[in-house]
Amino acid sequence: MSGPIDDGRLDELVDLIVRLASGDLKARLEPSRASDSIDAVITGINLLADELDTIYQTLEQRVLERTIALSEARVELERMALSDALTGLANRTLLGDRIRQATARADRGALPPCVLMLDLDEFKTINDSLGHSAGDQILVEVARRLRSVVRQTDTVARLGGDEFAIVMPDATEDDALRVAERALKELQAPVWVGDRPVWAGASIGLCFGRGSQDGEDLLRDADTAMYAAKKLGRGNIQIFRAEMHLAALRRLQVASELVTAMAENQLELQYQPIIDLRAGIVIGAEALVRWTHPERGELLPEDFIPIAEDSGHMIELGHWVINEAVRALKDWSEQLPPTFRVHINLSPVEMRWAGAADYVRQTLEKYDVPPVRLAVEISETATMTGDVAILENLLALSKLSVGVGIDGFGTGYSAISYLRRLPIDTVKLDRSIIADIAVDSQQSIFVTALLHLIESVQLRAIAEGIETAEQLDCLRDLGCDYGQGYYYSRPVGADEMRKMLSTAPMDRSD
């Protein structure tokens, strides 16, 4: 094709290029029927415009997709940063944020927020005995149940472990108590782990916001109230009171003083003789720890053992007791009657510690004391948890020839099945069931039944808390062979115990 062309197509072509250049990528020009070079250029530009348009659309689509993906990732990151990965509940950060929002609302005239702190009872035991996977299942289920009992405006959070919190904005005491009670009720139903029902009861502490109190303070006080609820037993609800905070501070102080007490010999082991009730001779002694506090005088185990357990000092305290008792046995070795042994109490915290039996063995070896001279006692309720770690320690101690006894029998389940299953040799009847034995015939029948139960599995029964001659007579008549109590002797120091071992039998039957 040659020669000048003046059919207007060149002008149209210029217009097409201008439109395309201005961003109108849909612009096209129809080639003529001439199919000449100008049409070839038009066709080429149309095709290039097609390409350009497609590339632009693809790019725009990709940018859009990436923007959406980035936005979703940002939302997911925010969610992860503010939620608990296991349960999907809010985490501590988000909870703090919600408390701040609720407090700000209260500043504008709404009611102050209430924070509920909830801690599962015996969760550690569940985790230890059924495994962490089962523990996780339970936490997820607890989270679901807690979500089902709150109002739409409330936030449920998991703070870690088995600790949950709920923040209720604009809440009355009735609102908060209603939610707390519904939570406890929901948790009463068992959680099924496979075909095994597990009960995950809880204790709840409540704290209402006051004035300028910040979120951390609210959580701390709700935690203090929860702690108070736990102390009252399972499934309790407590509302924070100022004195609880003082008590918590006192507990902290006691925990730190206990470390000093161990280092500075403020602790002492006292020994209460265990008597053969027929022969009247001392066949053993229960070692009981006492703390002579420089300011508050003598403290009983119940004043500081629970604090030691909660503050992580129990293992250290337990070691001190084991060491002292074995050292005393070594000191008394020349006066000891042939079958005499010292009974020490081990808390569930110590018994769950994997090295417990080993520590006892090492201490006996250190002082060259035969294992048969020592017996450990563990509470009936601790053995009932079925904790594998506890059972392993009991078996190891028994294999070592250290005596193993159940303490406080008659107050818990008192089941024969576990008496047969556990590697134990003695059972201590709790003082509470001995108290009225001489005046209450029903109680006497109950004790008779317990003694038969113990005898049937060929274990030795020791009655605790014998305070009167009548109680002693009764126990003898019922066939109880061993006992201890103020009637014979209060707990005494190591020196006095040594003297007692050197003197005549303690027959006070006359």
Partner 1 sequence: MSRCQVSGEPARVEHEDVWIENGIVLLRWPVGVVITGVTARRAFDEVNRVSADRPRPMLVDMANTKSVAREARTVFGEPSAASRIALLGRSPVDRVIANFTLGVSRVPCPTKFFTNRDQAMAFLREGLDERSD
The CB-of-59 to partner 1 minimum distance in angstroms stands at: 15
Q: Is the alpha carbon torsion for 315, 321, 323, 325 positive or negative?
A: negative
Closer to partner 1 by Cβ: residue 43 or 266? 43
Is residue 60 at the binding interface for partner 1, with CB under 8 A as the rule? no
The interface region with partner 1, picked from 47-55, 281-289, 424-432, 466-474 by CB under 8 A, is 47-55
5, 18, 44, 312: residue in contact with partner 1 (rule CB under 8 A): 44
d(C-alpha 366, C-alpha 346), whole Å:
20
Is residue 47 at the binding interface for partner 1, with CB under 8 A as the rule? yes
The CB-of-31 to partner 1 minimum distance in angstroms stands at: 6
10, 19, 36, 323: residue in contact with partner 1 (rule CB under 8 A): 36
Closer to partner 1 by Cβ: residue 47 or 86? 47
d(C-alpha 308, C-alpha 256), whole Å:
9
The interface region with partner 1, picked from 35-43, 59-67, 307-315, 409-417 by CB under 8 A, is 35-43
The CB-of-55 to partner 1 minimum distance in angstroms stands at: 11
Residue 81: which residues within 8 A CB-CB, separation 6 or more? Answer: 93
Is residue 54 at the binding interface for partner 1, with CB under 8 A as the rule? yes
Is residue 58 at the binding interface for partner 1, with CB under 8 A as the rule? no
Closer to partner 1 by Cβ: residue 53 or 392? 53
| Nearest Cα residue to 483 out of 471, 499, 496 | 471
| Nearest Cα residue to 414 out of 379, 389, 445 | 379
DSSP 202-262: EEEEEEE--TT--HHHHHHHHHHHHHHHHHT-TT-EEE--HHHHHHHHHHHHHHHHHHHHH
Is residue 12 at the binding interface for partner 1, with CB under 8 A as the rule? no
The interface region with partner 1, picked from 30-38, 385-393, 412-420, 451-459 by CB under 8 A, is 30-38
| Nearest Cα residue to 425 out of 397, 445, 386, 393 | 397
| 114-120 vs 163-168, strand pairing mode | antiparallel
Buried b or exposed e, range 418-451, using 16+ CB within 10 angstroms: bbeebebebbbbbbebbeebbeeeebbebbbebb
Is residue 55 at the binding interface for partner 1, with CB under 8 A as the rule? no
Closer to partner 1 by Cβ: residue 45 or 177? 45
Closer to partner 1 by Cβ: residue 37 or 71? 37
CB 474 within 8 A of CB 439: no
39, 154, 380, 430: residue in contact with partner 1 (rule CB under 8 A): 39
Closer to partner 1 by Cβ: residue 40 or 80? 40
The interface region with partner 1, picked from 38-46, 314-322, 341-349, 440-448 by CB under 8 A, is 38-46
Is residue 412 at the binding interface for partner 1, with CB under 8 A as the rule? no
Is residue 40 at the binding interface for partner 1, with CB under 8 A as the rule? yes
5, 14, 15, 37: residue in contact with partner 1 (rule CB under 8 A): 37
Is residue 5 at the binding interface for partner 1, with CB under 8 A as the rule? no
d(C-alpha 134, C-alpha 253), whole Å:
36
d(C-alpha 36, C-alpha 160), whole Å:
79
- Record the tokens describing residue 169, joined without a space: 């904005």
DSSP at 492: B
CB neighbourhood size of 46 (10 A) = 17
The CB-of-131 to partner 1 minimum distance in angstroms stands at: 57
The interface region with partner 1, picked from 27-35, 80-88, 255-263, 379-387 by CB under 8 A, is 27-35
Is residue 51 at the binding interface for partner 1, with CB under 8 A as the rule? yes
CB 293 within 8 A of CB 261: yes
Is residue 73 at the binding interface for partner 1, with CB under 8 A as the rule? no
Is residue 43 at the binding interface for partner 1, with CB under 8 A as the rule? yes
d(C-alpha 422, C-alpha 394), whole Å:
8
Is residue 13 at the binding interface for partner 1, with CB under 8 A as the rule? no
- Record the tokens describing residue 370, joined without a space: 């035969």
Q: Is 360 exposed, middle or buried (0-12, 13-18, 19+ CB in 10 A)?
A: buried
The CB-of-10 to partner 1 minimum distance in angstroms stands at: 15
d(C-alpha 490, C-alpha 478), whole Å:
24
The CB-of-35 to partner 1 minimum distance in angstroms stands at: 4
The CB-of-28 to partner 1 minimum distance in angstroms stands at: 9
The interface region with partner 1, picked from 28-36, 236-244, 339-347, 467-475 by CB under 8 A, is 28-36
The CB-of-32 to partner 1 minimum distance in angstroms stands at: 10
| Nearest Cα residue to 429 out of 312, 214, 274, 298 | 274
15, 18, 24, 35: residue in contact with partner 1 (rule CB under 8 A): 35
1, 63, 263, 469: residue in contact with partner 1 (rule CB under 8 A): 1
Binding site for partner 1 (CB under 8 A): 1, 31, 33, 35-37, 39-41, 43-44, 46-47, 50-51, 54
